[in-house]
Every structure is written in C-alpha cells, then in structure tokens.
Amino acid sequence: MTAGVLATVSTVFPGFLTGALAVQISDEFSVAEGTYGWGLGGFFLAATCGSFALGKLAQRIGPRRQIMVATSVVACCQLLVALTVRSFGALVAALAVCGLANAANQTAVNLALTRARIERLGLAVAVKQSGMPTAALLSGLMVPVVALTLGWRWAYVAGSVLAITSAGFVARVLEGEDSVAASSRAIRDRRSSTGALVLAAVSGGLLAFGAGALNAWVVSSGVDAGLSEATAGWSLSIAAGLGIACRLFFGFRLDRLRRDPFLVAGLMLPFGLVGVVLLAARSPGLHIAATVLAFAGGWVWPVFTNFGILRANAGTAGSATGITQTGVYVGVFSAPLLTGIIIERFGYGPMWAVVAAVMGLGTVLTLALVDRL
C-alpha cells in the first residue's frame, strides 16, 4: 500500500504542482488564465489519450515494470522543466509526457493492489486514493516553502527527487511478475458490463471537472479574493490534508460497508458542492473555509467509486480502470481550459458556480450507478 501511494503521489504531482504555482509561472511567462489552462490541460489530455491502452499494457507486462518506467519518466521530465524550460510551450510539452506516465502508473497501481490479494481491499484503495490529495497538499506547501524562497523551478526538482525515491521503493517492495503469476490466475475473473464502466467514466469525469478546477485555481482564486500568496498556498495544503484524513477515515470502514459504494459517494458529494458554491463569494476568510469544505466533501468520492470498480473487476483491474480513468482524465483535462476562459471573461465567482453545476450533474449520475456494477 505504501509503495502504491508513493508512486501515485509522485506521478500526479507535476499536474497538481503546476496548478499551485499558477501565479509564479504565469508571471514569468506572461500568460493569462485561459492560456495557462493548457499547462494543466496538456498533462491530463495526454493521460486521457493513453489511459485505456496503458491499462491494457499493464495487464500484459505487469504492474511492477510499468510503475518503475512511469516514475522514472516523471523524474526526468521534472528535471528538464527545472533546468531547461524557457517557454510556456516547452512546459506544456513536458507536462504532457508526465501525463502519459501518470496514466500508465495509475492503472498499474490499481492492478498491483488487486494482484496482491490484500485482505482489506477497501483500506488499500483508500490509502492509494489518498495519493491525489497528498500531491495537492505537497503542491500547496511548495508555494510558501520553495517557490517564494528559492524559486518555482526548485519545486520541480523536489518532485523529481520524490519520483526517483518512489521508483527505488517500488523496485524493492513489489514482487516480480513471475512470483505473482499464479496468484493472479487464482483471482476470479469478474467483470462489469462495458455500459456500466462507461457510465462510471462519465460520472467520474463530471466530478473530476470539479477536482481539476479546485486544483488549478483555488490558490489564484484565494489571491484574487484578498489572501496573500503564502496564505492561499497554506489553505490548499490544509484542505488537502483534511481530504486525506477523510479518505483514510472511510477507508478503515470500507471493507465492512453494506451499502453500495456509489450510493455513499452520491450522498457525500453535496457537502463538497456547498464548499464549491461558497468559493464564489469573494471573501478571504470564507474562501479558506470553503476550500476546506470543498476538498473534504468533494474529494472523498474516488475512494468509494474506485473500491466499487476494483471489487467488481478483481481480475481485470488494469483494463477496467483504464476505461473509468479515461473519463476522470477528460474531466480534469477540460476543467482548467474551460474555467480559465470563464475566469478571463466573467471572473472567479461565476466560474465556481459553473463548477458546482457540473459536479451536481456528476452526483446524479453517480447515484444512477447504484447496483449497476
């Protein structure tokens, strides 16, 4: 579980970090919000394009090899960003490569968790899914601790070190493919219908649109509302930390859950929606509270939905999550692009209102998945 969460954090970190450093990077390259959205968009667009095929590849070559290659690629790309990138276009290209590596890593980690035959799969999924808010937490910390002291490029150096460390840890902890082959064959080959997986991808994409907007703009939105850059970064870290705590709290109870995981996810999402709506109010103090609520309530759903998908597709977790993660990546990819345009034309308040509406539709579709998988 530790190897899985460390790999998850290290490969998604460049995407979250680019959102947290929006103020510093956009100032250096003189790009507006709509243009800057392509930085994050390139990361998740590449992940979208590669998710399905890379999920199939993980089933073929095994999770250990794929995770090690993915983390190594992310480490190299972040070093290139820190040392050689001198234009925004080059940054977008580097992030696109990182996005492909992230798609490869996410599906491989999911497959590794099911092949390990961990008794408490729900807890394992919660720990793994905590990697996303952990990356957001670390990204927020990078603003006051690194970007405002040493410069924003050093934050990518830190991300490269994290990825290298993750690759080494995975190499030592995860079993080789030969040793898990028999165990993998012993897992019952259960599969959800393609229609149910596609619906899960659509609902996940709508909800991920909200997560992508939060990651991309919550720091710069806080600055616009009157917070200092350091305070806005700290608020992101605190909110992400609470999101981690919520995921782990429910993870300890997930294996004993009697209700459908999609039902529980749908019932919790309105709390996050309230937080997103409150972000539309341009008040510094309220912005901090709303950020915490949006992350705590709006980022718990992947624990339940991924647990439901992995439990229903134990033997084909790589290819199944390759489908569902495609929807998630579409949502996260489109969020910074579309919301960036809205910010340029109408401001942050209307943008957060649109995000809340999209997440509301995603909540409805999540509830429609109850008893479908």
pTM for this model (two decimals): 0.79
Q: In the chain, pLDDT over 90 holds for what percent of residues?
A: 49
d(CA 244, CA 136): 10
Q: What pLDDT was estimated at residue 321?
A: 85
d(CA 293, CA 128): 21
d(CA 141, CA 202): 32
Q: What pLDDT was estimated at residue 136?
A: 78
Read off the pLDDT of residues 42-76 as tens digits, 9 standing for 90 and up: 888 898 899 989 988 998 898 999 999 999 999 99
Q: What pLDDT was estimated at residue 177?
A: 53
Q: What pLDDT was estimated at residue 126?
A: 85
How crowded is residue 175: how many other Cβ atoms within 10 Å of its Cβ? 15
- One DSSP character per residue, 307-372 reads HHHHHHTGGGHHHHHHHHHHHHHHHHHHHHHHHHHHHHHH-HHHHHHHHHHHHHHHHHHHHHTTTT
Contact predicate 333/48, CB 8 Å: yes
Read off the pLDDT of residues 355-373 as tens digits, 9 standing for 90 and up: 999 999 999 999 999 988 7
Closest to 111 (Cα-Cα) out of 164, 57, 165, 48:
57
Q: What pLDDT was estimated at residue 151?
A: 94
Token digits of residue 335: 């969020």
Residue 248 to residues 242, 277, 315, Cα–Cα distance (Å): 10, 25, 25
Read off the pLDDT of residues 113-143 as tens digits, 9 standing for 90 and up: 888 777 787 888 888 888 877 887 888 889 8
Q: What pLDDT was estimated at residue 176?
A: 59
- Low-confidence stretches of the chain (pLDDT beneath 70): 175-190
Structural domains of the chain in order of their starting residue, each with its CATH number:
2-368 (1.20.1250.20)
